[in-house]
Amino acid sequence: MPDFSQKIIRWQLVHGRHGLPWQGTRNAYRVWLSEIMLQQTQVGTVIAYYERFLNRFPTIAALAAAPGDEVMQHWAGLGYYARARNLHRAAKQIVEQHSGRFPEQFDAIHALPGVGRSTAAAVSAFAFGQRAAILDGNVKRVLARHFGIAGDVKSKPVTDQLWEIAGQELPKTNIESYTQGLMDLGATLCTRSKPGCLLCPVQKSCVAHHEGLTDSLPGKGMKRETPHRNIQMLVLIDSGEVLLEKRPPTGIWGGLWSLPECAVELDALEEAKSRFAIRAKKIKKWSTVEHGFTHYSLSIFPIEIRVTARQPRAMEAGLVWLDLADIRRAALPAPVKKILLALADSHYLPDA
């Protein structure tokens, strides 16, 4: 469909997004950083994180040389923390294998930790003007609707078909505007619900629009029940300080400081005494905090425990006592920060 890409390009030049902080640059590091942050995260959320991250790590070399803890601190609250770990690993790889220069070839970009085929294509297009097809979630929706591709878009047969179409529709020129146009169209008009078909530049050739299939395309697989997990979080308080424990480097909130956890069937007070060699006398149950992840939901039961004496074990590596007055500035997982802000407020702490 030769007209498709040209209509997308013309629409993007007039109606697309042009003022985002990572646009208007060929700096591959900045383009790559924005693409990683935008994975499964809304533009409005990313902007502030992107600017703060760049202020602290303005170059690949600065990012590669930074301690892992500091990288995670600047990512805290953005979610999907494997992205930050992979970003840090990739920066080190670029320094070690490419002398600190961001690679220009698609295969070399794709080989970086955390960089999939679509992300590599977006970086290739925006940083180097190379023709490469993207296929993120928004673009899958645009192509599935426009070309009438039925079936679960997460299945391999449908994904393969969409990749083929994505490659066939690449324009010979203006690859940046076309790539940005597909992203903008999916984000602003061809949305999951209530798409703005009347304003769409390719509505005349859109199968879903003409056949009344916008609600059923793209197709979805059978909905699976989301697993649920319950956990107790130990809120150990001593003289205006709270005990934090560093999480393992991989998994949920990997590498971040968080509240210690224990299974709900365990006695929280006895568990705290045993694990951290403390004495404590007062315990209080806080309201349950609900939190959702991509693959499961979580109910957190915070248990406040008043510490009367600490032993050396509570000062070992992987543990830290944080002043409650510093909670508002601390980089913590979102639900943990919510719990501790409520705790700080209950202690009538002044605003930061």
Max Cα-Cα span within the chain:
74
CB atoms within 10 A of CB 160: 9
The residues assigned a catalytic role are 35
Q: In this structure, are residues 34 and 50 in contact, taking their beta carbons and an 8 Å threshold?
A: yes
Q: In this structure, are residues 324 and 242 in contact, taking their beta carbons and an 8 Å threshold?
A: yes
C-alpha to C-alpha distances, 91 to 84, 88, 97, 103, 296, nearest whole angstrom: 11, 5, 10, 11, 30
Q: Which residues pair with 232 in a beta bridge?
A: 262, 301
Token couple for 14: 């007039």
Query: Cα(292)–Cα(120) distance, rounded to whole angstroms?
Result: 29
Residue 108 Cα to chain centre, angstroms: 23
Q: Which residues pair with 242 in a beta bridge?
A: 237, 322
Of 77, 118, 68, 75, the closest CA to residue 248 belongs to 68
Helices 2-15 and 175-188, packing angle to 10 deg: 70
Q: In this structure, are residues 268 and 303 in contact, taking their beta carbons and an 8 Å threshold?
A: yes
Q: In this structure, are residues 217 and 148 in contact, taking their beta carbons and an 8 Å threshold?
A: yes
Q: Which residues pair with 204 in a beta bridge?
A: none
Query: Cα(119)–Cα(111) distance, rounded to whole angstroms?
Result: 11
Of 63, 135, 47, the closest CA to residue 95 belongs to 63
Length of the chain: 352
